[in-house]
């Protein structure tokens, strides 16, 4: 079984960064970001230089709005070039608006043009903003196209199930299979799973620990995935991620996909289980989406 979740869930997304032209002046941009509490602190350089925080004027707001509109139009065009259907492309744009993707682009614009922040600090900020931009795109794609994306994950897990035969993982394999069986996660009449094909000594294994290790690794992979701007406290986010994963039995669904690959099932069974997997992962992502916002 494969437990390298990060590798499996890593998508290759080819939409290039948008380099939208903008006629927003730095004061307007800073006012907007400040007013909307998008950048809190981290711009002491401005305060030190006594930058005035004016009330945002009407033309400033108009320019911000037009920047956002142009940016989303450009993104829609890029998505259509990537052969996304109109429905999926529109869904991605809507999802990105919920995530306040435009605010990330405005932050990017701000830090790119900011002359008063040290080069090193600016570089780090931009790196983390670009990371969030990528993540928001990936997550939106998963939510808008679950059949394609999660279906692919299922196939990946299923098809590569026989490839790993790491001796070290035999205990973990045994325990995780046992867990699925003990909790009646799957139909035991339909699927006969050999818990211990390698005949390892199971008398000394603490299966509770093995399950916990697997669950922790799984949850960590998603916490990493969700490290956008943490709008809630990291502790609340962690609890929310944990709930999203456990309530949808996502770890179990992923393990089971790999186990099905190991035993080999009929095309009908595979299609049925694939659909269940897609539903579960879709539900998990919908819940995860609410963890940061
Ligand atoms: C379990 O699988 C068997 C054999 O395929 C089937 O007859 C039975 O209806 C299934 N049970 C459930 C609860 O799906
Ligand atoms: C894995 O191996 C088993 C046993 O040899 C086989 O039945 C199954 O179809 C294989 N799975 C894949 C995905 O090739």
Out of 128-137, 214-223, 244-253, the most confident range is 244-253
pLDDT of 162-208, one tens digit each? Answer: 886 565 688 889 999 999 999 999 999 999 999 998 899 999 899 99
Q: How far apart are CA 275 and CA 277, in angstroms?
A: 5
Atom from ligand 2 closest to the CA of residue 160: 13
The confidence score (pLDDT) of residue 293 equals 54
Q: What CA–CA distances, in Å, run from 31 to 19, 60, 102, 123, 181?
A: 21, 9, 15, 22, 58
Measured from CB, residues less than 6 Å from any atom of ligand 2 are 158-159, 161-162, 261-262, 264
Q: Is the pLDDT of residue 13 over 90?
A: no
Whether residue 218 has pLDDT greater than 70:
yes
Band of residue 251 on the pLDDT scale cut at 50, 70, 90: very high
- CA 235 / ligand 1 centre spacing (Å): 41
Pocket test for ligand 1, best of 184, 186, 188, 189 (most atoms within 8 A of CB): 189
Q: Whose CA is nearest to atom 13 of ligand 1?
A: 187
pLDDT: which is higher, 279 or 137: 279
pLDDT in tens, 61-110: 888 998 999 899 988 888 888 767 888 889 999 989 988 899 989 998 88
**Whether the Cβ atoms of residue 92 and residue 79 lie closer than 8 Å to each other:** yes
Please name which ligand lies nearest the alpha carbon of 268. Answer: 1
Instruction: Compute CA distances 290 → 11, 222, 226, 237, 242, whole Å.
Output: 21, 13, 11, 9, 12
The two tokens of residue 283 are 């539900």
For the residues 267-275, what does the mean pLDDT come to? 97
Given a cut of 60, is residue 269 above it in pLDDT?
A: yes
Task: Report pTM.
Answer: 0.73
Question: What is the distance in angstroms between the CA of the first residue and the CA of the last residue of the chain?
Answer: 34
pLDDT at 229 over 60: no
% of the chain surpassing 70 pLDDT: 80
Q: How far apart are CA 31 and CA 58, in angstroms?
A: 12
Atom number, ligand 1, closest to the C-alpha of residue 187: 1
Tell me, in angstroms, the distance from the centre of ligand 2 to residue 95's CA: 39
Dist CA 253 CA 265 (whole Å): 16
Taken in order 29, 31, 37, 43, the sign of the CA dihedral is positive
In the chain, count H helices and then E strands: 13, 0
Task: List the domain boundaries for the chain.
Answer: 2-144, 148-292
Q: What is residue 60's predicted lDDT score, i.e. its pLDDT?
A: 86
Calculate how far, in angstroms, residue 133's C-alpha sits from the geometric centre of ligand 1: 44
What spacing in Å lies between the alpha carbon of 189 and ligand 1's midpoint? Answer: 6
């Amino acid at each position: 079984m494969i437990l390298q979740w990060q590798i499996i869930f890593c998508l290759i997304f080819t939409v290039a960064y948008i380099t939208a032209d903008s006629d927003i002046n730095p004061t307007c941009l800073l006012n907007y970001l400040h007013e909307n509490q998008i950048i809190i602190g981290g711009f002491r350089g401005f305060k030190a230089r006594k930058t005035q925080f004016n009330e945002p004027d009407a033309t400033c707001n108009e320019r911000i709005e037009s920047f956002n509109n142009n940016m989303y139009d450009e993104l829609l065009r890029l998505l259509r070039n990537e052969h996304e259907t109109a429905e999926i492309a529109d869904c991605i744009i809507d999802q990105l608006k919920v995530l306040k993707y435009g605010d990330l682009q405005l932050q990017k614009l701000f830090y790119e043009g900011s002359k008063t922040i040290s080069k090193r600090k600016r570089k780090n900020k931009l790196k983390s903003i670009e990371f969030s931009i990528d993540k928001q795109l990936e997550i939106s794609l998963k939510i808008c196209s679950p059949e394609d994306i999660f279906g692919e994950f299922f196939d990946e897990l299923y098809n590569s199930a026989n490839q790993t035969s790491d001796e070290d993982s035999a205990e973990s394999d045994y325990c995780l299979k046992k867990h699925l069986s003990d909790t009646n996660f799957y139909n035991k009449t339909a699927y006969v799973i050999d818990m211990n094909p390698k005949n390892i000594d199971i008398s000394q294994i603490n299966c509770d620990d093995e399950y916990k290790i697997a669950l922790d690794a799984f949850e960590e992979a998603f916490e990493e995935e969700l490290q956008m701007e943490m709008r809630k406290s990291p502790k609340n986010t962690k609890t929310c991620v944990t709930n999203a994963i456990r309530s949808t039995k996502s770890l179990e669904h992923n393990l089971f996909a790999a186990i099905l690959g190991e035993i080999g099932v009929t095309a009908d069974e595979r299609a049925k289980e694939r659909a269940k997997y897609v539903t579960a992962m879709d539900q998990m992502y919908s819940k995860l989406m609410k963890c940061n916002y």
